[in-house]
Chain A
Amino acid sequence: MNSESDLILKVDNLQTQFHLSRRVVKAVNGVSFQMKRGRTLGVVGESGCGKSVTAHSIVQLLPKMGRIVDGSITYYSSNGAVELSKLKRNGSEMRAIRGKEIGMIFQDPMASLNPVFTIGHQIAENITQHEKISRAAAMERAVEMLTMLGIPQASTRIKDYPHQFSGGMKQRAMIALAMVCNPKLLIADEPTTALDVTIQAQILELMKEMQHKYGTSIILITHNMGIVADMADDIAVMYMGRIVEFGTVRQVLGSPRHPYTRALLQSVPVLGIAKGERLKTIRGSTPDPSDMPEGCEFAPRCDFATKQCKTVPADTDLGGGHRVRCWNCMGGLTT
């Protein structure tokens, strides 16, 4: 089932740290996962758990103080496997992959477009960087892309500057920018958090359509469980820089085995929730990553913690690719 040929990305024991002047922030602490072609991986977790840092590590777009200190990131291109974490940050090999093989949509679409260039120019620039193509032809493709994403009169709007676009339109422009070269892998970091719910649904629908059309694999980062249930094939639940539960949507949402995943699911409002019934919150708050608890990092907030949880839990494989990082996952969890 896991034959290498249908893998697009393999991340193994990724560790990323920020070396600040006084302390070291361990943002990602040994993340491992595999992604198959054409599928969507949803990455969920509380704010600050390391979702964005993981995404940025893959394409080496970390801030200056950020460093991949250990682990490997293997990208399977059509010309064979490439070890991304060993490439030079802004070297030509890494740059040939960025934009062309792996497209990125960042968390804040409002700030992700350059205010002094037209939308068309910014989208076309991605094409001209990777293909031998005339400026005019690139613009043409940018127009096509925006039209496909539902921007009316794209051929004139393309001459607009970002400030002339609404938030939803900027988000579409960002998707167009990231997808215009038909990347094999699209990393979308909370692409819809800044938008209202109807536009959010539209944008996600568009991403699905594009995926169907081009067979793109998508890493979708969000803290919205509803979006994950709707969009993803696989789910990685992150807590404190680690993946605590990984599996298909059916496995993780259908029979969540990690207490954190369960708590997360119970804290999501569901339509038709009985009136007066209260949403559960996870007690306590995320500890500071520079001050990790000993053993299982979720133990201090866990209702099921035992003595064993003072030691670092191992990944338990529950079969079918479902793995959980918890001592008590084999049963005994009752809610």
Chain B
Amino acid sequence: MLKYFTFRFLSIIPMLFVVTIIIFIGLQLTPGDPLTYLIPPELLASANFDLASYKKAMGLDAPLYVQFFRWFSGMLQGKLGYSLVDGTSIATMLGHRLPATLELAAAALIISSVLGIVLGLISSVRQNSAADYGNTVIGIIGISIPEFFLGIIAIQIFSIKLGWLPVGGRLDYGESGFLSLLKHVAMPALVLGFSLTAALMRYTRGTMLDVLGKDYVKTARSKGLPEWKVIVKHAFRNALMPVILLLCFRLPMLIGGTVIIESVFGWPGMGGMLLNAVSAKDYPVVMIATMLTAFMVLLASFLVDLLTALLDPRVRFD
């Protein structure tokens, strides 16, 4: 099994390779040449400016595939390159921004999985109760209202009207405590994870209702087990796997969602960086940022496999 998962993990690299090729080609297809942004137009227009030698110096004269391999091998060695716009090293930029995004995504993931699963469980056990209907309403809101809109409403209510939570940002100036961090991350994380919470809740409810009708649940009851044990141990343990699969499949959406949520809440993460880079055609930055997203998606699908194997005794690799 270890062998299988080592292999499975290493296979992420060729997949990433393919993804980066696609991103690279996509960027080549978009109109505009980065040089037109880099070189002042006056200079470009002047007669004695040698564009060819300039390109050569930047390595832009080589065929596209050579450019690509240079870039890819550099990246594998940790040379992420520099921003075209202000020349800062991308590695430094990531060092500042990646932790913030990961923190936001992790907080959203934890909040929504706990909340979604617990509410879903309650809904399934108390089917057609007031709590179940309440959860259904939350679910519909979560699935149908766009996140940025929800974010704006949340800021209106909790920050501006009630003044409970900060409007945005990651930490207040001069503050560093965990509590301050929590205060800042709570609202963006909840908003970011809201649709995931709703999806998990609906899915947990459905899967649990299905499992609760199974004969082995009846067997568990026939042993005289208390109801909580029947539900949590015998039923939920079986419902858990499909729920975790859904969670992993939704992970990319959660990460993608950070781009918008970060700008709504002024969260200093990758999202803002990516938005700036796209509008400035700062393609080294765009490449790295999208590649990181792709990496997280691939990692999520790896986790799906790993967890499936760990949770389901029927899955074997031999």
List residues of A whose CB falls within 8 A of some B CB: 59, 61, 63-64, 90, 92, 94-100, 103-104, 106, 108, 111-117, 122, 125-126, 129-130, 161, 163, 174, 177-178
User: Nearest chain-A residue to B211 (Cβ)?
Assistant: A114
* A-B CB contact pairs (8 Å), 29 listed: A63-B213, A90-B221, A90-B226, A94-B224, A95-B224, A98-B222, A99-B223, A99-B224, A106-B215, A106-B222, A111-B214, A111-B215, A112-B216, A112-B219, A113-B216, A114-B216, A114-B220, A114-B238, A115-B216, A115-B238, A115-B312, A115-B313, A116-B313, A117-B234, A122-B219, A129-B224, A129-B225, A161-B313, A178-B222
CB closest chain-A residue, reference B241: A116
CA of A177 to CA of B237, assembled, Å: 20
* Interface core residue of A100, A103, A106 (most chain B CB under 10 Å): A106
Given contacts A116-B237, A116-B312, A163-B314, contact A96 B220 (CB under 8 A): no
* Secondary structure dominating the interface of B: helix
In chain A, what residue has the closest Cβ to B217? A114
Cα distance, A196 to B177, chains bound together (Å): 69
* Closest residue on chain B to residue A126 by CB atoms: B223
Choice from A95, A104, A161, A163 contacting B225 with Cβ under 8 Å? A95
Q: B213 contacts which chain A residues (CB < 8 A)? A: 63
CA distance A17 to B18 in the complex (A): 61
- Using Cβ atoms and an 8 Å threshold, which residues of chain A touch B225? 95, 125, 129
Instruction: Assess the A112–B223 pair: CB atoms within 8 A.
Output: no
A98–B220 touching, CB < 8 Å = no
A213 shortest CB reach to chain B, Å: 21
CB distance from A157 to the nearest CB of B (A): 14
- Are A97 and B224 in contact, with the CB atoms below 8 A? yes
Would A112 and B224 count as touching, CB distance under 8 A? no
B60 within 8 A of A: no
Indicate if the CB atoms of A98 and B216 lie closer than 8 Å.
Answer: no
Q: A106-B215, A163-B314 are in contact. Are A114 and B234 (CB under 8 A)?
A: yes
Which B positions have Cβ atoms within 8 angstroms of A? 127, 213-216, 218-227, 234, 237-238, 311-314
Residue of A nearest to B215 (CB): A111
Docked complex Cα distance between A100 and B312 (Å)? 30
From A123, which residue of chain B is reached at the shortest CB distance? B223
- Across the A-B interface, the 7 shortest Cβ-Cβ residue pairs: A99-B223, A98-B224, A99-B224, A95-B224, A111-B215, A114-B216, A104-B222
Which A residues are CB-close (under 8 A) to B219? 104, 106, 112-114, 122, 174, 177
Contacts of A94 in B (CB 8 A): 224
CB B294 to nearest CB in A, in angstroms, measures 33
Cβ contacts under 8 Å, B226 to chain A: 90, 92, 95
In the complex, which residues of chain A have a beta carbon less than 8 angstroms from the beta carbon of B238?
Answer: 114-116
Which residues of chain A have C-beta atoms less than 8 A from B234's C-beta? 114, 117
Name the contact of A61 in the complex, choosing from B127, B222, B237, B313 (C-beta under 8 A): B222
Docked Cα-Cα span, A92 to B10, in Å, equals 53
User: Which chain A residue lies CB-closest to B213?
Assistant: A63
Distance A113 CA – B223 CA, assembled complex (angstroms): 12
A63, A97, A126 interface centre (most CB from chain B within 10 Å) = A126
Tell me the bound Cα distance from A161 to B223 in angstroms.
Answer: 19
Structural contact, B215 and A112, CB atoms closer than 8 A: yes
Tell me which residues across on chain A come within 8 A of B224, comparing CB atoms.
94-100, 126, 129-130
A98: B residues at CB distance < 8 A: 221-224
Docked pose: A98 CA to B220 CA in angstroms: 10
- Report A-chain residues with C-beta under 8 Å of the C-beta of B220: 114
Specify the chain A residue showing the minimal Cβ separation from B226. A95
Asked if A106 and B221 sit within 8 Å, CB to CB, the answer is: no
**Which residues of chain B come closer than 8 Å to A125, judged between CB atoms?**
223, 225
Instruction: Tell me the bound Cα distance from A161 to B314 in angstroms.
Output: 8
Docked-complex contact A59 and B222, CB < 8 angstroms: yes
Q: How far is the CB of B238 from chain A (nearest CB, A)?
A: 6
- Expressed in whole angstroms, the minimum distance between the Cβ of B122 and any Cβ of chain A is 16
B218 and A116 contact, CB distance less than 8 A? no
B214: chain A residues at CB < 8 Å are 111
Minimum CB distance partner of B227 in chain A? A90
Given contacts A129-B224, A161-B313, could you give 14 more A-B pairs where the C-beta distance is less than 8 Å? A61-B218, A90-B227, A96-B224, A99-B224, A100-B224, A104-B219, A106-B215, A114-B219, A115-B216, A129-B223, A129-B225, A130-B224, A163-B313, A163-B314
Closest partner residue, chain A, to B313 (CB atom): A161
What residue of chain A has the Cβ atom nearest to residue B128's Cβ? A64
Identify the closest chain B residue to A107 (Cβ). Answer: B215
User: Closest Cβ of chain A: how far from B129's Cβ, in Å?
Assistant: 12
Residues of B with C-beta under 8 A to A103: 222
Closest Cβ of chain B to A240, distance in Å, is 24
A109 to chain B, nearest CB (A): 9
Q: Which of B127, B222, B313 contacts A99 (CB 8 A)?
A: B222
What is the CA–CA distance of A261 and B216 in the complex, to the nearest angstrom? 34
Q: Please report the C-alpha to C-alpha distance between residue A90 and residue B215 in the assembled complex, in whole angstroms.
A: 16
The distance in angstroms between the C-alpha atoms of A92 and B312, with both chains bound, is: 32
Are A111 and B216 closer than 8 Å at their CB atoms? yes
Cα A174 to Cα B220 with chains together (Å): 12
